[in-house]
Amino acid sequence: MLEPVNHLAVELIFRLRGDALQVYLLPAEGAGFSSIDLFERGLEASSAELGEAVAPIRMGLLLPADSDKPFELHLGTYEYEGTHMAMAGLFKAGAALLASWGDPYPHPQPGAGHFHRPRCPSRLNMSFSLTKTARSLQLRCLGRGDLTTLAAAYRKQVDALGYRVPWSEKLKERPQAARLFGACNFKLWTALARNIDAEGVEKSVEVHWTFDEVAQIAEHLHADLQLKDVLFHLGGWSTYGYDCRHPDIMPANPECGGDAGLADCARRVQAAGYLFCLHDNYQDMYRDAPSWDEVCIQKLADGSLYKGGVWLGGQAYYTCAREALRLAQRPQNLARVRDVVHPDLYFIDTTYAVGPQECYDPAIR
């Protein structure tokens, strides 16, 4: 299905290369489109054919054709609840099909139901919407196979592209990361909760744990519960508390013990044999932050500021990706956290969770 912006031609090219069918979209010069849907009814498998689809969402989602309820999903690539790899799979009568792409803007669209065939078995359908810069899609027929077959085929593709770096290679650069394997992720969330409404009015300030109490909890886990492998994760430690007035995070909030208290907490957690990790955020920025500057904010096509969620700190705004990196690199941000606290790990929230972002500010391109 094509939704043209004008009426100029768009050409589809199908090319066979080994076991792959490659589809290329070639708009005529000057042609524009919002999206084009491929294989709207071409990739189907019924419940009688043991049809299933695979979408790499989080740990993976298996979608059967014989679903009790009909569904249609529109999945973005690399988005929060979209496909976290640029691939999807379809199974039919014991055979496997791998779909893959290299652009972030194909949208796989699995669905299941009777599709207006009430007397027929439930059917699973997989289509793809190419949007924005997406111009190609590849389908590989893998023959008889299962999830392992699908994973092995995709692994070969990403190995060839250099996308997959095995832990054996990662550990050569950072051997300390081996301590993450099997570790319990224990998170205190959040030490200080300052609640500011969407209008910027402070409603409450609540200390859930002082930094001394945080360290006592780690010591309790070690001495009394005898937990050995722990990733000890702390949120709400920054100047104004959790999700408040980013990107200004140092010194650590005085209500919980300040820089000295947080540094002492880190030492005690590490003395218990645990990895100490801090939570931070460079995608959200707040109007009441001392560093607030509209230059840093992601712009929509009409030039307006891109609003994020309303969190404990009130209304957040998205920073442009390049500006987020610059803010994190400031001496008062990551460098100071490193020098004062010496955490083992650092969790930067949301950056890889919300999908690719576009900023229309010409001054930042």
- 288, with CB counted inside 10 A (0-12, 13-18, 19+), is middle
pLDDT in tens, 15-47: 999 889 999 988 776 666 678 899 987 899 999
Coil, helix or strand at residue 254: coil
Rounded-to-integer distance, Cα 280 and Cα 333, Å: 10
Peptide bond into 254 cis (omega under 30): no
Which pair of structure tokens corresponds to residue 324?
């987020």
Sheet-wide strand order for 136-144: 10-17, 20-27, 136-144, 95-100, 87-92, 52-55, 61-64
108 and 55 in contact (C-beta within 8 Å)?
yes
Q: Select from 92, 81, 314 the least CA-distant residue to 196.
A: 314
> CB-based contacts of 93: which residues, under 8 Å, 6+ apart?
45, 49, 50
User: What's residue 11's pLDDT?
Assistant: 86
Q: In which element (H, E) is residue 187 found?
A: strand 184-188
Residue among 56, 77, 4, 13 at smallest CA distance from 35: 4
What is the C-alpha to C-alpha distance for residues 94 and 150, in angstroms, rounded to an integer?
Answer: 12
247 preceded by cis ω (within 30°)?
Answer: yes
In this predicted structure, what is the pLDDT of residue 30?
Answer: 62
Span 39-50, pLDDT tens digits: 987 899 999 999
The CA distance from 300 to 313, in Å, is 22
pLDDT per residue, tens digit, the chain (365 aa), is 444 445 557 888 999 998 899 999 887 766 666 788 999 878 999 999 999 999 999 999 999 998 878 899 999 999 989 999 999 999 999 999 999 999 999 999 999 876 555 556 788 999 999 999 999 999 999 999 999 999 999 999 999 999 999 999 999 999 989 999 999 999 999 999 999 999 999 999 999 999 999 999 999 999 999 999 999 999 999 999 999 999 999 999 999 999 999 999 999 999 999 999 999 999 999 999 999 999 999 999 999 999 999 999 999 999 999 999 999 999 999 999 999 999 999 999 998 888 888 999 988 75
Query: Burial, 219: exposed, middle or buried (Cβ in 10 Å; 0-12, 13-18, 19+)?
Result: middle
pLDDT at 68: 79
Note the pLDDT of residue 114. Answer: 62
Domains of the chain, first to last? 2-164 (no CATH), 174-349 (3.20.20.80)
pTM equals 0.87
Instruction: List the end-to-end C-alpha distance of the chain, in Å, as a whole number.
Output: 33
